[in-house]
Structure 1
Amino acid sequence: MRKAVTIVLAGDLVLDEPDAPYWLAGIAPALKGADLAVAHLEVPHTARGQELQGDVPAPGAPPENIAAIAGAGFHMLSLAGNHIADCGAEGIADTLALMADAGLIGTGAGASLLEARRLAILVAGDRRIGLLSYNCVGPENSWAGDEQAGCAYLRIETADGTPIAPAADLVRVTDEAVEVLRADVAALRAKADFVMVALHKGVVHTPARLAPYERAISHAAIEAGADAVIGHHAHIVRGIEFHHGKPIFHGLGNGCVVTSALSPAQDHPARREWAERRKALFGFEPDPAYTLAPFHPDAVNAMLGRLTVHEDGRIEAGIIPVDVLAPGRPVLAAGERKAQIARYIESITTRAGLAPITIADDGTVSA
């Protein structure tokens, strides 16, 4: 009989600061205790490249921090997001090369759309675990093409027909997106025992709220044959639901985000302007103690997702509560904070209009 396999899931990684092992050390025990650990790499790791226009561009993170991500216990990375192409084709190429050197498996970005949609498979225990990764929020010029570097994507229609971009009013899943999911999940299903789909989706910096398309695209992934859906992008956790008995983490929030790129005190005009404008757009004032993670105050209630594939194939979902300490370091929560975070996730699930969930003391989630 097959053995159970445990998978730990983290949200966005933005490691712009020196000493990445220190920033990751607070969650590393949970990563190293799992058979497989997965995260979303938000920005390119490179010292070169041309800045992409079209969204507020993130700077390239220190190349040496990729090795620290592997050292903390991660094995697989999703890459399809709104910032992975911010340093152009060179930034993507450098990131993929660094990942290969560090032994990290990834999917979602590449020198072409074919490469960006490649299947990522890694053996954990005696199971072949597969991952696909897609950007749902644009900007469109970050998407890969036949001969253009960028990320894999699923096309979501805007309410007014404007180009797809993170700030656009994204409302409806297209037939094209469903067909991409069906084709890619079927291809991965033929080679893997367990299939995960990572979606960069949602509305940033807002507690609880799900955009109109989020449940539909997540359900489409499950209906295409995925065993679990992993959401990220919002920089704050979202609710959890089950569709046909399969878990959907609508938003894992920040896995580890420590960056000066979101501070008003910088010399990049677009990033400085965005740091101020987002406070007005989303109605929050960051805690001044969180200089490297100036997000919505509720973002301190963080989590890692947990999946257990049992001997008989049954999938159990859970969370590992994470507390974010100033100036932005995530640590495994303990005591009262652990319970508070669990209750917070139960609450935002209901507030988002999802079916109520219960989170047990050991983190197991049930509908």
Structure 2
Amino acid sequence: MTRLTVALSGDCMATRGALITSDPAAVELRETLRAADFAFTNLEVVPATGRGHPVHNAAGGGCLIADPGVVNEITAAGFTVLGCANNHALDMGTDGVLGTVDLLRAKGIPFAGIGADLAAARRPVYVDRPGGSLAVISCSSTFLSGQEAAAPSPDLPGRPGLNPLRHGATLRVTSAQMEVLRQIDGETGLRARRAEARTLLGFDPAMSSADRLTLFGTRFQTADTPGFTTRCDPRDLDGISLWVAEARSRADLVLVSVHSHEPGPTPETPGEFLCEFAHRMIDEGADMVVGHGPHLLRGVEIYQGKPIFYSLGNIVSQIELADHVPAEDYAKVAAREQLTPGSYFAEISAHGRRMFAPHRRYWQSIVPVLTFDDGSLVGARLHAVDLGFGRPVHHRGRPRLANSVDAKEIFTDFARLAEPHGTAVKVGNTGTGELLLDGHDGPQHGLNRSPQSGPQRRENKGI
């Protein structure tokens, strides 16, 4: 029997050192990561190598750039494989992303999700251990146009970039609402301004059919009941599925990582396209899907016996300690004197009163440790993580296992988020939780029968 354990985490935005402090609860987290056969995180920072130039990243809220030494800190924390497809991967442009590729290869750190062209960005990375192998595929639905990798043509090389998961949104409107939109289109002169397009194309690009209209960059469709929905671009869905099927035949376990900021009806709810994507990945052979991007927890679903974590929040968040700020980001802040990195972040956060600092959920997350026997999920132990809400900026953002009181709060909230997906979360009394599989709790499935499943959790008092 092949037993493998995989530790999962969300966004790692490391910009400084000593990600694991001397706090016993932090050291225990590192032990938990190191005890797993594989420990995954999403690298959401550019470890600048001197290549490339800063990109005006309005979609990402500004550039996130650090010194290359952060990758050493990340591996020292216990992480052994990285996903790199996210909306900050190209903050230093295409040259910068190639610098990241070269840096990680030189250091022998397995990674997926970025590359010199589309095939390179989509390919799995294979990580081998004495007990078995893991394939990782990384993609992102959140990125600026042009940051997605492109395939070569017979005439030109491909474009470096990330593995894209594009999607589209459709607003469903009633017939009466559609008629109002058509009136706006005609009476404001928008329709007249498409005359050249109609001449060249032979049809009006905004009106693909009698019941559809594309206006203000949004697709509208007539329906009985108003609503909003999103769907994956079938080209990307099929393109990523191809590599999942390939990985299924070449590794013991297959992990698909997806970075998605886009919400569903609420910030805690995944977009419809993300659920569609995750289900397709499992259908194609993935053993687990791990999501991240919104910087807070979303729910978990057990689909076909496989776990889908729609967002695991943050594992490291040192955005405000970044020392490399582009001029365009500085220009967002009106200041009477020259700004420094620290004063810039203090200004844009209103000295901790807005953005991420005042929101407790941003500083709480979960690290699941999954146990597989011969490829079947038999256990899912959950470790609550505290990133130091309310602490000074130079102290918060580094992870430690949460104390029992905070852990219960985190797991109770996570159970609430999981409930709509039909998944039950067992909240423990000592700072750990479990996903209930097939109506049974984790220990009956052998969660603790192997030393590889990580150290026994003791209660952390915190500091």
Pairwise same-fold verdict (TM > 0.5): yes
Q: How many Å separate the matches in 2 of 1:17 and 1:290?
A: 23
**Helix, strand or coil at the partner of 1:132:** strand
State whether structure 2 residue 369 is matched by structure 1 residue 299.
no
What letter corresponds to residue 436 of structure 2 in structure 1?
A: S
How many equivalent pairs are there?
347
Aligned to 2:445: none
Q: Percent identity?
A: 25
Measure, in 2, the Cα distance between the counterparts of 1:139 and 1:172.
18
Is 1:188 the counterpart of 2:247? The answer is yes
Q: Is the 8 A contact 1:79 1:106 kept in 2?
A: yes
Equivalent residue, structure 2, for 1:150? 161
Other-structure match for 1:245: 305
Tell me which residue corresponds to 1:115: 120
Q: Does 1:366 align with 2:436?
A: yes
Q: CA deviation at 1:125?
A: 4.0
Question: For residues 100 and 262 of structure 1, what CA distance do their matches in structure 2 show?
Answer: 24
3-state DSSP of counterpart to 1:363 = strand
Preserved contact between residue 46 and residue 62 of structure 1 (Cα < 8 Å): yes
1:321 is paired with a residue of what secondary structure?
strand
1:136, 1:155 within 8 Å by CA — same for their partners in 2?
yes
Aligned-pair distance for 1:307? 1.2
Give yes or no for contact 2:56–2:328 (8 Å, CA) kept in 1.
no
Contact map agreement 2:17 2:73 (CA 8 A) in 1: no
Deviation at 1:128, TM superposition (A): 1.4
Residue 63 of structure 2 corresponds to 58
Secondary structure, aligned partner of 1:121: strand
The one-letter amino acid of 1:336's match is V
Q: Distance in 2 between matches of 1:316 and 1:233?
A: 25
In 2, Cα distance between the equivalents of 1:178 and 1:197?
12
Which residue of 414, 424, 447 maps to 1:357?
Answer: 424
Kept in 1, the 8 Å contact 2:134–2:251? The answer is: yes
Contact kept, 8 Å, 1:172 with 1:213, in 2: the verdict is yes
CA distance in 2: counterparts of 1:287 and 1:301, whole angstroms: 22
Residue 105 of structure 1 is matched in structure 2 by 110
Is the 2:258–2:291 Cα contact (8 Å) retained in structure 1? yes
RMSD after superposition: 3.1
Where does the alignment leave 5 or more consecutive residues of structure 1 unmatched?
A: 164-168, 275-284
Q: In the alignment, residue 216 of structure 1 is paired with which amino acid?
A: E
Change (3 A) 1:184 1:143: same
Q: Distance in 2 between matches of 1:242 and 1:337?
A: 25
TM-superposed CA distance for 1:340, in Å, is 1.7
Whether 2:101 is the aligned partner of 1:96: answer yes
Shift in Å at residue 312 of structure 1? 6.9
Distance in 2 between residues matched to 1:312 and 1:115, nearest whole Å: 26
Cα distance between partner residues in 2 of 1:192 and 1:172: 29
Query: Residues of 2 paired with 1:309 and 1:289: CA distance?
Result: 42
| Paired letter, 1:178 | L
Q: Secondary structure, in 3 states, of the residue corresponding to 1:364?
A: strand
Shift of 1:38: 0.5
Instruction: Give ranges in structure 2 of 5+ residues lacking alignment.
Output: 152-157, 172-213, 219-227, 334-347, 438-463
Please name the residue that 2:141 is paired with. 136
Give the alignment's TM-score, normalised by structure 1.
0.84
Aligned residue for 1:255, secondary structure, equals: strand
Match of 1:335 in 2: 404
Q: Post-superposition shift, 1:188?
A: 0.8
Query: For the residues of structure 2 that align with 1:16 and 1:302, how far apart are their CA atoms?
Result: 19
State which of 76, 79, 97 in structure 2 corresponds to 1:74. 79
Amino acid at match of 2:418: T
- 1:28-59 deviations in Å (ceiling 9; x for gaps): 22211211100001121004321223533313
Structure 2 equivalent of residue 35 of structure 1: 37
**Where does residue 9 of structure 1 map in the other structure?**
8
- Structure 1, residues 126-160: CA drift from partner, whole Å, max 9, x if none? 22111101111222221011221110012211337
Distance, in Å, in 2 between the alignment partners of 1:287 and 1:358 is 37
Identify the residue that residue 442 of structure 2 maps to in structure 1. none
Conserved 8 A contact 1:286-1:297: no
User: Deviation digits for residues 59-91 of structure 1, max 9, x if unmatched?
Assistant: 321111111111111111011111101101222
In structure 2, C-alpha distance between the alignment counterparts of 1:174 and 1:298, rounded to whole Å: 31
Task: Provide the C-alpha distance between the structure 1 equivalents of 2:426 and 2:234, rounded to a whole number of angstroms.
Answer: 35
Residue in structure 2 matched with residue 277 of structure 1 by the alignment = none
Matching residue within 284, 308, 311 for 2:371: 308
Q: What SS does the corresponding residue of 2:275 show, helix, strand or coil?
A: helix
CA distance change for structure 1 residues 302 and 207 in 2, over 3 Å: closer, same or farther? Answer: farther
Q: Secondary structure at the match of 2:409?
A: helix
2:113 alignment partner AA: G
Cα gap change, 1:317/1:295 in structure 2, threshold over 3 Å: closer, same or farther? farther
How much does 1:111 deviate?
Answer: 1.5
The partner residue of 1:222 within 282, 294, 304 is 282
Offset of 1:290 from its aligned partner?
A: 9.4
Q: How far did residue 329 of structure 1 move?
A: 2.3
Distance of 2:121 and 2:315 partners within structure 1: 22
Larger radius of gyration, structure 1 or 2?
2
